[in-house]
Amino acid sequence: MSEIADSPVFVPTTLAEAIQIVKRNPRIPLWAGGTWWAQGRSTPEQDDDQLEGPHGAILTLHAIRELKRVVRSEIHVDVGAAVVVARLREAGSRFLPPVLLRALERTGPPPVRNLATLGGAVCIPDQILPVTLVLQLLDTRLDLRRGGRGHTLALANFRPNPGDILTRLRIPLTEWSNWSLNSFGTIWPRGDNSLTVAAVAHVEKGSVQEFRLGLLINGETILRLREAEMDILGRPVPLTERDQRIILTPLQQHPLYGSHLDDLGRWRATGAVRQFLRRLG
Ligand SMILES: Cc1cc2nc3c(=O)[nH]c(=O)nc-3n(C[C@H](O)[C@H](O)[C@H](O)COP(=O)(O)OP(=O)(O)OC[C@H]3O[C@@H](n4cnc5c(N)ncnc54)[C@H](O)[C@@H]3O)c2cc1C
């Protein structure tokens, strides 16, 4: 490990070293690609009390090789938290689900994607990014370390916490015959009327075998329709107007649809979902 002289920047080269540093300084800010910090958070001292490190210290993850591996099996891919988005996009071009490849392409302009890490994208504390919505739809699980202890949880249940180090994301390599990813409004920096609609489905032997849909509203709230997702399974394609309503009606009756979307947002959400449903098959 190197601790840069007269500079409160810790540069561990192993995960074990990083864990020891975080154990001693549980509130030390972690710096992965640094692109979120760079947006008005150029020095951690400026940040809110919750994330401020001791004497402005930071811990960078870029020298930890364990966090930069991509390991693929038949059924999933394990992505180290410090894997850079552009590298993952390139390395995974032949095996990652296309909806995820598209989401990775949209994590910012090329200079940002060349620095930003997948772990940093899901750990941003003040905003949910579209790529996180997509990873949730794919049932991604996270490995985290707090002190000496590790735990695994679904991304859908994850909230970033000072003191936790995200080490790995496990992404299932499910086959999807249909997918769509539509974003409206200003995604970054977070706009008040932004909306992302993501959907994946698998159609085989003329009927819907898998279906998942998620809406990310204003970069802060995710709307899912888990019951309706189950109800549509087994329906023959192309879906009838009546079968489309299995999804559209609960969407339009969802409390968030009424309270968090304005007329334009509701029109966009319904339009994007209807278009996806009509194209199944
Ligand atoms: C100019 C610009 C344009 C952008 N445009 C877009 C866009 O169009 N679409 C989009 O989706 N996003 C956009 N972004 C956001 C960008 O995708 C995020 O800033 C990036 O994904 C964050 O990753 P990072 O590795 O740089 O994280 P960092 O800035 O290093 O960290 C982000 C947060 O995550 C925490 N963290 C990082 N790694 C870990 C870990 N392993 N364990 C625990 N906590 C961790 C950090 O402590 C910090 O709180 C843009 C950003 C910039 C600067």
- For residue 243, is pLDDT > 70? yes
* Chain mean pLDDT for the chain: 92
Ligand 1 centroid–CA 217 distance in Å is 19
Ligand 1 centroid–CA 107 distance in Å is 9
Residue nearest to atom 33 of ligand 1 (CA): 124
Residues 208-221 have pLDDT tens digits of: 999 999 999 999 99
Ligand 1 centroid–CA 9 distance in Å is 19
Share of the chain above pLDDT 70, in %: 92
Residue 39 pLDDT: 80
Residue 162 pLDDT: 87
Residue 41 pLDDT: 60
Distance CA 232, CA 210 (A): 9
Closest ligand 1 atom to 30 CA: 47
Closest ligand 1 atom to 164 CA: 43
Ligand 1 centroid–CA 104 distance in Å is 12
Residue nearest to atom 37 of ligand 1 (CA): 120
Closest ligand 1 atom to 144 CA: 42
Q: What lines the ligand 1 site, CB under 6 Å?
A: 29-39, 61, 81, 106-109, 112, 115-117, 119-121, 123-125, 129-131, 160, 164-166, 187-188
Residue nearest to atom 10 of ligand 1 (CA): 107
Ligand 1 centroid–CA 208 distance in Å is 35
Give the least confident one: 24-33, 97-106, 132-141, 172-181: 24-33
User: Is it true that the peptide bond before 238 is cis, omega within 30 degrees of 0?
Assistant: yes
Domains assigned to the chain: 2-60 (no CATH), 67-172 (3.30.465.10), 178-279 (3.30.390.50)
Res. 281 pLDDT band, cuts 50 70 90: confident
Res. 47 pLDDT band, cuts 50 70 90: very low
Ligand 1 centroid–CA 80 distance in Å is 15
Look at the pTM and tell me if it is higher than 0.85: yes
Share of the chain above pLDDT 90, in %: 84
Q: Which of 10, 27, 35 to mutate to test the pocket of ligand 1 (most atoms within 8 A of CB)?
A: 35
Q: Which of 188, 194, 195 to mutate to test the pocket of ligand 1 (most atoms within 8 A of CB)?
A: 188
